[in-house]
Amino acid sequence: MSRAPRVKADYKSKNYIGYVQRRCDLDYNKIAAIIKLYHQLAREDLALGEAIFLKQELGTLRPEKELRELDIKEDGTIINNLPINKAETFKLWRKKPELKGKTFIRYTNQHSDGYYYTLNWIRSHAKFKNKLIYNFQFNRKLKSMLSQNIIDKKTDAYAKRKF
């Protein structure tokens, strides 16, 4: 089964500003300030672990956490699902090529008690067709705000759903 090609549907604030200007008696700067304030408030809510419900049933944005730890089965095999620290692992492989593909350096996430945080768009709450085609990308500023709040223990998130 072949996948459909990706189509970038990128809408910027100026697209919405023109839309609002045709319907309201507001100038460009006021509309831009309102949009900027809304994005700032939404970013702060997400960074503190709150869910954001998008209008017109477009889904939900929310941070989720998943406990990552070592598991030891009854037969003694170790299951390691800790996230890999790619930069340190590649550095190790450059120094010792014989370990390439065999040894990985992993994050322990001690600052978050072993939890791994992600930002997710919950599509199951969306009511439109072909929702698997669309993707939601979170910006770097939001990710860094969430990361800092996790380190400062200001945020908590929803537990990741298991299917």
Query: Residue 127's pLDDT is what?
Result: 86
Round to whole Å and give the CA distance between 101 and 85. Answer: 13
Radius of gyration of the chain (CA): 21
Count of structural domains within the chain: 1
Q: Per the domain annotation, does 5 fall within a domain? A: no
Q: Per the domain annotation, does 25 fall within a domain? A: yes
User: Which two tokens mark 46?
Assistant: 């997400």
Domain span at residue 126? 13-68+109-159
Q: Per the domain annotation, does 3 fall within a domain? A: no
Query: Residue 22's pLDDT is what?
Result: 86
Query: Residue 89's pLDDT is what?
Result: 93
pLDDT beneath 70: ranges in the chain: 1-2, 4-12, 161-163
User: Which two tokens mark 85?
Assistant: 């620290």
> Model pTM?
0.69
Round to whole Å and give the CA distance between 162 and 66. Answer: 10
Round to whole Å and give the CA distance between 65 and 34. Answer: 31
Q: Is residue 145 a contact partner of residue 47, using CB atoms and an 8 Å limit? A: yes
Q: Per the domain annotation, does 92 fall within a domain? A: no
CATH code, domain carrying 123? 4.10.520.10
Query: Residue 8's pLDDT is what?
Result: 56
